[in-house]
Amino acid sequence: MAGPLTGEAVGVKRRYLVRPVQPPTSAFAGFRFPPEVILIAVRWYLRYGLSYRDLEELLAERGIEVDHVTLFRWVQRFTPLLIDAARPCRHSVGSHWLVDETYVKVSGSWRYVYRAVDQNGQVIDVFVSKKRDLRAATLFFTSVLSAHGQPAEITTDRAHTLVRVVSELLPDALHDTTQYANNRVEADHGRLKARLRPMRGLKRDRTASVVGAMPSSRTSGDGTTSSGWMHAPD
């Protein structure tokens, strides 16, 4: 349009308001605190490297008295619901998957966490197992393939179990096992471990699954995950 004084064309930037992603109102029934407080607490926990006690202190400084145990329950309850609510606006899962496993301690015992991310850094799926073996790898790949189909390319390390499962379940996919090719997902593991440090330990496999599926990179995709979390049966 023309400028009122100079007559020159002036560009106009349009701003669009995006409605915040949130679970249905019914999900908050029975909670003493309003949805706005619960959502901001969960968002801060997912976005920043805070412990539950850190979060308790930040809320207390703002006049909101809530126990760190309650904050833990909010995160466990509402993280999956937030991810479900965000699914319609997240990126589609990419055609190049990077798969690796790492390990965390749950109640003093080691658990192996299989994680898959796509070329955009978006977490595709997470699987927690007591063992790092062929059965666990097969369960993980069967789950992720049933939910998202087959990728055109997959990158793993040269672990025997991963190589075998990929050759059996993904015979048509390009399988890259070259050195350093899996650096993206390995770096993502590092951010996951940084997320675990302020938590002072994990008590349940489900907690490990939820934390493993949290967006650990500040720049990964749209910050959502794509599937439900699961852990291997005993």
Overall domain count for the chain: 2
- Whether residue 220 is predicted with pLDDT greater than 60 in this model: the reply is no
- Flag the least confident range among 7-11, 24-28, 56-60: 7-11
Residues 30 and 112 in one domain: no
The confidence band for 107, taking pLDDT boundaries of 50, 70 and 90, is: confident
CB contact at 8 A, 39 and 78? yes
- Per-residue model confidence (pLDDT) at position 227: 38
107-126 as b/e: b if 16+ CB within 10 A: eeeebbbbbbbbeebbbbbb
DSSP state at residue 6 = T
Residues 115 and 156 in one domain: yes
Residues 176 and 81 in one domain: no
Task: Report if residue 227 sits inside a domain.
Answer: yes
Task: Report if residue 1 sits inside a domain.
Answer: no
Q: Identify the H or E element spanning 127.
A: strand 123-129
The confidence band for 128, taking pLDDT boundaries of 50, 70 and 90, is: confident
Task: Report if residue 203 sits inside a domain.
Answer: yes
Residue with tokens 């997959």: 154
- Per-residue model confidence (pLDDT) at position 18: 45
Residue numbers of the domain that contains 80: 25-89
Residues 49 and 130 in one domain: no
**Nearest Cα to 212, choosing from 198, 195, 197?**
195
**Nearest Cα to 147, choosing from 82, 221, 230, 80?**
230
- Whether residue 114 is predicted with pLDDT greater than 60 in this model: the reply is yes
Task: Report if residue 168 sits inside a domain.
Answer: yes
Average pLDDT over residues 22-28: 70
Rounded to whole angstroms, the Cα distance separating 117 from 206 reads: 19
Among 68, 89, 110, the domain-final residue is 89
pLDDT digits (tens, 9 = 90+) for 158-199: 999 999 999 999 999 999 999 888 887 777 666 666 666 555
Task: Report if residue 170 sits inside a domain.
Answer: yes
Residues 68 and 163 in one domain: no
Residues 143 and 164 in one domain: yes
- Whether residue 217 is predicted with pLDDT greater than 50 in this model: the reply is no
**Nearest Cα to 184, choosing from 229, 101, 118?**
118
Residues 143 and 222 in one domain: yes
CB contact at 8 A, 115 and 101? yes
Task: Report if residue 3 sits inside a domain.
Answer: no
CATH number assigned to the domain comprising residue 108:
3.30.420.10
Structure-token pair, residue 102? 């790492």
Among 71, 89, 107, the domain-final residue is 89
Greater confidence (101 vs 204) lies with 101
Residues 128 and 205 in one domain: yes
Residues 171 and 130 in one domain: yes
The confidence band for 153, taking pLDDT boundaries of 50, 70 and 90, is: very high
Task: Report if residue 79 sits inside a domain.
Answer: yes
- Whether residue 89 is predicted with pLDDT greater than 80 in this model: the reply is no
pLDDT digits (tens, 9 = 90+) for 35-73: 899 999 988 887 787 888 999 999 999 999 999 999 988
The confidence band for 144, taking pLDDT boundaries of 50, 70 and 90, is: very high
Task: Report if residue 5 sits inside a domain.
Answer: no
Average pLDDT, the chain: 75
- 155-158-162 Cα angle (round to 5): 70
